[in-house]
Structure 1
Amino acid sequence: MLELYGQIEEAVAAIRGQWNETPHAGIILGTGLGGLVEEIDVEAAIDYEAIPNFPRSTAISHRGRLVCGRLRGLPVMAMEGRFHMYEGYSLKQITLPVRVMRAMGAKLLVVSNACGGMNPYYREGDIMVIDDHINLLGDNPLIGINDDRLGPRFPDMCEPYDRRLVDRGLAVARANDIVAHKGVFVAVAGPNLETRAEYRFLRLIG
């Protein structure tokens, strides 16, 4: 079995066989947000099954393909469907597509999802721009032997989300009369929802 770096190179080669561009951004589309693909001038749409080492999305609402093209003139790669720990994948498998997008040249990653909110001032359908997170998965994709070609052993996580992009996202929302908040995202393994005690705990630590 190929090491992680080799798996990434193999996936990149397969994608470049159909789309040999340098993406400005990688986009991971969450539940209910696949409509963004309609805004992309699609130049290639590759099923995950056709990309070596890519996991397979089992979520019914996730189409399971990588869409490459231009969004408002900028080259992008968008994942229609993502992967979850509760599907049985390791975090190394789940994060491999992100590493592939970076290896393709993407400098920016935009991730979306549908999730529950514990702030009493939030309402269903509100947008929350993540400015920090708490990892309660009990795992980390960086565990194991480090490959310096993929990044440092101990990455600085003081500012994992670019403050300028967070502020810009909130400003764009305000300019378009869209309700948006800034907040902390908590990652849990699932697939079960949380107990009442867990909700109280999560709200306290966030």
Structure 2
Amino acid sequence: MLSSESDPHSDDERSFCPRKLFRKDLPDQHTEDGSSTQNGELDLVMDLGCDSGINTGISTYIQSFGMDMQKQLKVKHQQLTELTRGALRNTQKHIYKIWTSESQDRGRALEHFKDKMLEELLSLEADVTALKNTEEKSLIFCQEQLEAMKKHKVSQEIRLRNLKLLHSTLDDNLKESEVNAQSKQLNLKQIMKKDMAALQKKLLLESNQHQISNVKRCLKSMLF
């Protein structure tokens, strides 16, 4: 590619080098017979032909340069495309590896989480079941205790009522007994008074009779 660029460039330089440029600084040579004027006209014609050759060489150089640039750009584009595809393939491989590794890590983490979560849920369910059973047993025990307390309360109330009844009955019996005792005492006093009066009368009669009999004896002894 570089050799192709250097060859036309050197040919063009040799083909369209303007002669006027090399002769511009040279002084005009005047001859006595006016040959300088003819040489000027000849140089003008040569300059016009040289300008057209220069334009043609430039356009040819530009075309060849453009074609070379297109070829280079095409090659660069192909190389860039291949490099891009290779980089994309490598990137895709790395991304796939990373994604696969992350997916596996996530999968393992999720499986571990699921196992632990299931274990904890089963343990929690067992704890909840045991707690419910304990609550039911406690509730049954509390109900039984409440029923027993109610029964004991009713029994105590009955016992208290019986004790109150017995106390009131005892009080009534004591009062009645006291009244009966007082009445019996009165009756006994009256009977004892009657008996004492009768005994006194009897003793008086007996003493009177004894005295009378003594008097009779005395009189009898005195008389007889």
TM-score (norm 1): 0.15
Which one has the largest radius of gyration? 2
Higher relative helix content = 2
TM-score (norm 2): 0.14
Higher relative strand content = 1
Tell me: higher relative CO, structure 1 or 2? Use CA pairs within 8 A at least 6 residues apart. 1
